[in-house]
Amino acid sequence: MIALEHASAERGLLILSHGEELRIVAEARTGRDVVDVQMQDASVTPSDLPDSLLHYVIRTQESVILDDASTQNPFSQDEYVRQRRPRSVLCLPLVKQVNMVGILYLENSLAPRVFTAKRLAMLELLASQAAISLDHARLYADLGRLNAELTQENSDRRKAEEELRQKEISLREAQTELAHVSRVTTMGELAASIAHEVKQPLAGIVTNANASLRWLASELPNLKEAREAIGRIIRDGNRANDVVTRMRALFKKAYTAKERFDINDAIEEVAILTQREARRNQVALRIEPAADLPTVTGDRVQLQQVVMNLILNGIEAMSTIEDRERDLVIRTQRGEGDEVRVAVQDSGIGFDPRSAERMFDAFHTTKPGGLGMGLSISRSIVESHGGRLWAVPNDGPGATFQFTFHT
Ligand code: ADP
């Protein structure tokens, strides 16, 4: 199964710094239906990832993407690259305030160009969230040591154990986060292979349906053959269905946090992260937050993913505009009832009102390198929170994408 081969080739490492030393604390691999995350505590060796790349990222604290590590690049002489031959590689420093707290390393050995700038921006967001969870993970490790020292003193130990349990929960969160990060990054490659995998059973269905028509059309219909062909149609239909089900499971985050948070703060973080992309595209990005908004309830990271998707789409929609300002405005306001409404307005190419709904279909894209998954995933995130996401053409040029979130 091509998708599985692709997916299982996908690997991610989470490396944290302990003082001077770097240690691998988790390794994620995409497996059959799930992303398998192994927690560990091992020193980093040149057989884990390209050593020269790792040191470059530590020195510069900048993310590196290799579109295709198998072609000539500054790291092609690296022993790891030569032996393991990864194709797409991404190495991202996890920076908290100004300190590098760790490194996220992702690779894909089958497909080139899996890690795009758009996905990097998304990862940087997730990484900044992960950095926070990671601090908890580190606390957990410290507590582990503390716990060992406290074995004599019973009451203290009980307290430590309770804290340990709490930290374990944080650790699981970090784990889910990492799994989610690897999942988001395999999307491109998965979409391509899933399309391929669905096509095969579909072709089989058409062939067998034609065959059964032929068996039935003859003067003496051959019911036995026809029945067998129909059996194969059902088998292929189920196979296609399985592929789609598996895909859904992959895109869905297993764990959804339910917390109260300030939506303006969450949006501002995303705006900061996308500022660089905006500047690079000569886009003026601005937030118009409503004052006195109530806090909203849901998964903060997922909401940020939606906002980021909409911002990056807006920036892309303005990339060909030369005769007017490229403005992107993010507004928050009170909606109906207990709703808060977020609007992302651009002055880009806009859309044909007839395709206002089609844009949200999975795999619908008008971009050459597009996946057509962004809006579809965004909508499912918003709807899983009980909100709505829709698009309206502006009075002037451009489009506005809006969604609601419950307080
Ligand atoms: P992708 O960006 O990979 O194409 P999306 O699901 O995010 O996938 O978007 C689907 C399509 O919707 C885009 O290809 C584009 O045609 C349209 N679209 C999305 N955002 C905008 C926008 N801000 N302005 C105009 N069209 C848009």
**Residues 136-177 pLDDT 10s:** 555 555 555 555 554 555 566 567 667 767 766 666 665 555
Domain shared by 384 and 271, yes or no? yes
Q: Find the 91 Cα to ligand 1 centroid distance in Å.
A: 27
On whether both 268 and 234 belong to a single domain, the answer is: no
Residues 8-13 have a mean pLDDT of: 64
Ligand 1 contact via 393 beta carbon (within 6 Å): no
pLDDT confidence of residue 240? 79
Going from the Cα of 364 to the center of ligand 1, the distance in angstroms, rounded, reads: 8
- Among 113, 190, 313, residue to substitute to test ligand 1 (most atoms within 8 Å of Cβ): 313
pLDDT of residue 297: 92
317 lines ligand 1 (CB under 6 A): yes
Q: Would you say the CB of residue 351 lies under 6 angstroms from ligand 1? A: yes
Give the strand pairing for 88-96 and 64-66. Answer: antiparallel
Final residue of a structural domain among 226, 251, 276: 251
- Which CATH number do you get for residue 323? 3.30.565.10
Q: For residue 118, what are its two tokens? A: 């758009």
DSSP letter, residue 12: E
Check pLDDT > 80 for residue 29: no
Give the domain-ending residue among 207, 228, 251: 251
CA of 336 to the centre of ligand 1 (A): 27
Whether 121 is covered by a domain: the verdict is no
| pLDDT higher than 70, residue 186 | no
Whether residues 147 and 230 fall in one domain: no
Residues 243 and 169 reside in one and the same domain: no
Mean pLDDT of the chain: 78
Residue 4: predicted pLDDT: 26
User: Between residues 244 and 263, which one has the greater pLDDT?
Assistant: 263
356: CA distance to ligand 1 center in Å?
10
β-strand 11-18 against 99-108: which pairing, if any? antiparallel
Q: Give the whole-angstrom CA distance, residue 311 versus residue 377.
A: 15
Predicted pLDDT of residue 359: 93
95 in a structural domain: yes
403 vs 252: which has the higher pLDDT:
403
Q: Would 124 be classed as within a structural domain? A: no
Q: Return the closest-CA partner of residue 212 out of 229, 233, 224, 234.
A: 229
Does 242 score more than 90 pLDDT?
Answer: no
Taking the CA of residue 350 as reference, the ligand 1 atom at the shortest distance is: 25
260 CA distance to ligand 1 middle (Å): 30
* Cα–Cα distance for residue pair 338/341, rounded to 1 Å: 10
370 CB less than 6 Å from ligand 1? yes
pLDDT for the residue numbered 316: 92
The mean per-residue pLDDT over the stretch 76-83 comes to: 91
Residues 367 and 292 both lie in one domain? yes
Whether residue 70 is predicted with pLDDT greater than 80 in this model: the reply is yes
User: Which atom of ligand 1 lies closest to the CA of 376?
Assistant: 6
Same domain, 63 and 108: yes
What was the pLDDT predicted at 287?
Answer: 96
Helix axes 263-280, 117-149, angle to 10 degrees: 130
Sequence-separated (6 or more) residues with CB below 8 Å from residue 130:
14, 94, 104, 174, 177, 178, 181
Q: For the chain, how many structural domains are there in total?
A: 4
Q: Does residue 386 fall inside a structural domain?
A: yes
Same domain, 244 and 277: no
Q: Which two tokens stand for residue 262?
A: 């300030």
Q: Which atom of ligand 1 is nearest to 369's Cα?
A: 3
Q: What angle do CA 389, 401, 280 make, to 5 degrees?
A: 135
pLDDT at res. 111: 74
What is the pLDDT at residue 3?
Answer: 27
pLDDT at 334: 93
Q: How far is the CA of 365 from the centre of ligand 1 (A)?
A: 6
Quick one: 154 and 264 in the same domain?
A: no
Rounded mean pLDDT of 370-380? Answer: 79
Check residue 90 and give its pLDDT.
86
User: Is residue 398 a part of any domain in this protein?
Assistant: yes
Higher pLDDT, 200 or 248: 200
Does residue 129 belong to any structural domain of this protein?
no
* pLDDT above 60: residue 32: no
With a 6 Å cutoff on the Cβ, whether 375 touches ligand 1 is yes
Same domain? 198 vs 273: no
Q: Could you tell me what percent of the chain has a pLDDT over 70?
A: 71
pLDDT band, residue 8 (cuts 50/70/90): very low
Could you tell me if 321 and 348 are in contact, meaning their C-beta atoms sit under 8 angstroms apart? yes
Q: Is 294 in the pocket of ligand 1 (CB under 6 A)?
A: no
- The predicted model gives 12-35 an average pLDDT of 74
* 385 shares a domain with 281: yes
Domain extent at residue 245: 188-251
Query: What is the structure's pLDDT at 113?
Result: 77
Rounded to the nearest whole angstrom, what is the distance from the C-alpha of residue 326 to the centroid of ligand 1? Answer: 17
Full-model pTM: 0.54
Q: Give the pLDDT score at 175.
A: 55
Residue 367 lies inside a defined structural domain of this protein:
yes
Taking the CB of residue 185, how many other CB atoms lie within 10 A of it?
A: 27
| Domain assignment of residue 122, yes or no | no
| Best of 119, 308, 365, 377 for a ligand 1 pocket test (most atoms within 8 Å of beta carbon) | 365
State the closest ligand 1 atom to the C-alpha of 398, by its place in the atom list counted from 1: 24
Strand order in the sheet with 327-334: 284-288, 327-334, 339-346, 399-406, 389-393
Confidence of residue 247 (pLDDT cuts 50, 70, 90): low
Same domain, 18 and 78: yes
Rounded distance between C-alpha atoms, residue 329 and residue 286, angstroms = 5
Q: Could you tell me if 181 and 210 lie in one domain?
A: no
Percentage of residues of the chain with pLDDT beyond 90? 27
Is 241 or 49 the better-scoring residue by pLDDT? 49
Determine which residue's CA is closest to atom 14 belonging to ligand 1: 365
| Nearest CA-CA partner of 137 in 58, 212, 37 | 37
